[in-house]
Amino acid sequence: MPISRHGTGAVPALRAVISQIHPVFMLPPIAASWFGSMLAGEFLLVTGALHMTAIFAGVYTAHVKDGYIDFHIRGEDDDHPLTQRGCKLLLAAASAVFFTCLAGLWVVVGIGAALITLPGWVIGYLHAPQLDMHPISATGGYPLGIALAILGGYYTQTETLTPIALAFAGVFLALLSGVKVIDDAQDYEYDRSISKRTVAVVLGKERARTVAFALMAFSLLCVLGFAVAQVFPPSTVLAVLVFAGIATAAHRAGPELATMLLIRGSYVFLALLLAAVWFRPLS
């Protein structure tokens, strides 16, 4: 039985496998792992590569499982490139890669590195159908994965966690939770029709929008506070100013355009914070 729903043979199968790699959602967790490593002030290639590969495999697992549930089980999607067998095979393969990397981290770094990395796979595997039906877990799953990627990237290099790593993880958890609320609002009508309890469905679109931008504003204020307290480098203020401008533009836009602006804005925010931490231009 083929793994692709759109043809047999090696080429359709390869296309189906690649179709589950979504750069828009996969690059931030991998970049977050790298960011955590850079926060540590040192970078051991083996541990960094093991952690980033584990993060990739965890997110890939989430995408395959989400597509399997939404198309083959719930019947929500109109099409999907993978057969049921293909989904199950790729879930097994991605999980095998993840746990191989986890074992590598355990051997090279210690059990702490494995334990701090493991929740990323758990969140990804359980996203659908368990976590995506509740407003808190549906909103916070991906941002929590990013936060854990930062902490894991840091821990695998240092075998410890410090205030700066915890602070950056918290900032991204709040910021991306706000972005996720805006993103989910795009599917408000459909989610409401299937009783999918996103924040927008529970609170209504306008109140959800208020909560979303409040979360983003809180995260930016935290960056400013940490900069004043000298937990963050002074130049992190530039990242706040840039993202605040993007968020202001997004506030005037509809859910689709706002989501596009905020997701890309979060990439810029991460890049500016990485530059501030790595180069420390004002220090």
Q: What is the pLDDT of residues 2-43, one digit of tens each?
A: 899 998 889 999 999 999 999 988 999 999 999 999 898 878
Number of domains in the chain: 2
pTM score: 0.94
In a domain, 2, yes or no: no
Mean pLDDT of 177-194: 90
Q: Give residue-wise pLDDT tens across range 238-270.
A: 999 999 999 999 999 888 899 999 999 999 999
**For residues 160 and 170, what is the distance between their CA atoms, to the nearest angstrom?**
17
CATH number of 150's domain: 1.10.357.140
Determine the 3-state secondary structure of 82 from DSSP. strand
Indicate whether 8 belongs to any domain: no
134 pLDDT band, cuts 50/70/90, is confident
Residue 15 lies in a domain: no
pLDDT computed for residue 244 by the predictor: 97
Residue 189 resides in a domain: yes
**Looking at 108, 134, 159, which one is the last position of a domain?**
159
- Which of 38-42, 121-125, 137-141 bottoms out in mean pLDDT, i.e. has the lowest? 38-42
How confident is residue 283, by pLDDT bands cut at 50, 70 and 90?
A: low
- 152 and 28 belong to one structural domain: yes
Q: Which residues pair with 82 in a beta bridge?
A: 4
Question: Quick one: pLDDT at residue 277?
Answer: 86
Q: What is the pLDDT of residue 36?
A: 94
As a three-state string, the secondary structure of 152-175 is HHHHHHHCCCCHHHHHHHHHHHHH
Q: Say which DSSP state 22 is in.
A: -
- pLDDT number for residue 147: 97
Structure tokens at 2: 């083929």
Identify the domain boundary among 103, 136, 159: 159
Query: Which residues make beta-bridge pairs with 4?
Result: 82
Enclosing domain of residue 73: 20-159
| Same domain for 210 and 278 | yes
